[in-house]
Structure 1
């Protein structure tokens, strides 16, 4: 049996070993945190084939609301849907969060490319207006990656705007699968949702409280 001792040579039982291990971990973590300084407005991307991209974005919006931080949402695709997050925000938090549903449904629903492009452009103009306002701390661009994927919006234009006009402390969250490589390269934080299993493939439709 190996005798475990602390830094002063005292023997340790299981609880003591655990406490010693956690103390070392905390000290290392404190050193890391001490090296971090200040904050900045982040460009955040949620992409990938898995579920949870919009859900994560709206989770951040609710955190902003809880901190009394003004925020805004622009929905690029699912604007025609009656979603739970839209009901919640518009009914209870309209004073803190502006909500704009600019899309008209998925591309296979509208079946009109010119109409889809016009809706995307309208959503982007509203997004620019909101991002330019330094009083708004976070802007969620929900499903904008789909509009970018189909070239309804120009990725270079979007990146140029974020670089030139986004206020230093404003966070911008862009969701949707198939994020452009240029956007992934530019962003500060990128999360890819990986699809492992989804009930839709087993014949189960989208359900309130889970998907919308």
Structure 2
């Protein structure tokens, strides 16, 4: 593709205007705080995004932790990676025992969720830990294994000012969405499961 001198000049002028506007916006964004982050929606990628943020923390030498609700019994790639290579920077607590249709024991599921939340509160209260990922906690909240009002109140009143907390899982409760600083909804457009493709290592776990 050949770019004429006039096209190159117009492009440079346009990009300069965009940069000036962007720089002006960024000048006013100087605050920092620990965020409550929610990844929800029916699409794939909620946990994956959360674990990506954990890896960023590790790269910055920021201590972090994971509490895995519901699917904690799975042998996942992220669990292997974090416990094998980054255990000094990231604590990993697999508290779930499988999806509800696998355990088929509501009392057991509630007990596992409550134990996970107890561990989560302990980790979040520790000011040395900069990020805590609560993976699939939204599922436990959806089934009312945990009280959403208690979770929200804790995050708003007891979370240290510089600590980030990431909560994943579909069907996030409205009260949690309202309290969060950052909410992303993953939208399902296509998924190979519909075509008979099973969950695969490196993609789903």
Q: Identify the TM-score tier after normalising by the shorter chain.
A: over 0.9
Aligned length: 201
Determine the structure 2 residue equivalent to 1:3.
none
Residues 132-143 of structure 1 aligned to structure 2 (within 5 Å) = 132-143=125-136
SS in 1 for 2:129: coil
Partner of residue 39, structure 2? 46
1:109 aligns with 2:102: yes
Give the 3-state SS of the residue equivalent to 1:190 in structure 2. Answer: strand
Which residue in the other structure is 2:193 paired with? 200
Partner of 1:78: 71
In the TM superposition, what is the alpha-carbon distance from 1:77 to its structure 2 partner? 1.0
Could you say which residue in structure 1 is the equivalent of 2:123?
130
Structure 1 segments (4+ residues) deviating >4 Å: none
Please say if 1:172 is aligned against 2:173.
no
Q: Give the corresponding residue for 1:30.
A: 23
Classify the secondary structure of the residue corresponding to 2:72: helix
Select the structure of larger CA radius of gyration. Answer: 1
Structure 2, unaligned stretches of length 5 or more?
Answer: none
TM-score, normalised with respect to structure 2:
0.97
Equivalent-residue separation in structure 2 for 1:200 and 1:112 (angstroms): 27
User: Is the counterpart of residue 89 in structure 1 residue 78 in structure 2?
Assistant: no
Superposed CA RMSD in Å reads 0.7
Question: Aligned-pair distance for 1:76?
Answer: 0.3
Superposed CA deviations along residues 134-161 of structure 1, whole A, max 9, x for unmatched, are 1100000000000000000000000111
Establish whether residue 151 from structure 1 lines up as the match of residue 144 from structure 2. Answer: yes
Long gaps (5+) in structure 1: 1-11
TM-score, scaled to structure 1: 0.94
The one-character-per-residue Cα deviations of 1:59-85 (angstroms, maximum 9, x if unpaired) are 000000000000000000111100000
Deviation, 1:104, is 0.2
Q: Deviations over 1:142-181 (max 9, x none)?
A: 0000000000000000011111100001000000000001
Cα deviation per residue 1:10-69 (whole Å; 9 max; x = unaligned)? Answer: xx7111111111111000000000011220000000000000000000000000000000
The answer to whether the aligner puts 1:20 opposite 2:17 as a matched pair is no
The answer for the alignment partner of 2:202 in structure 1 is: 209
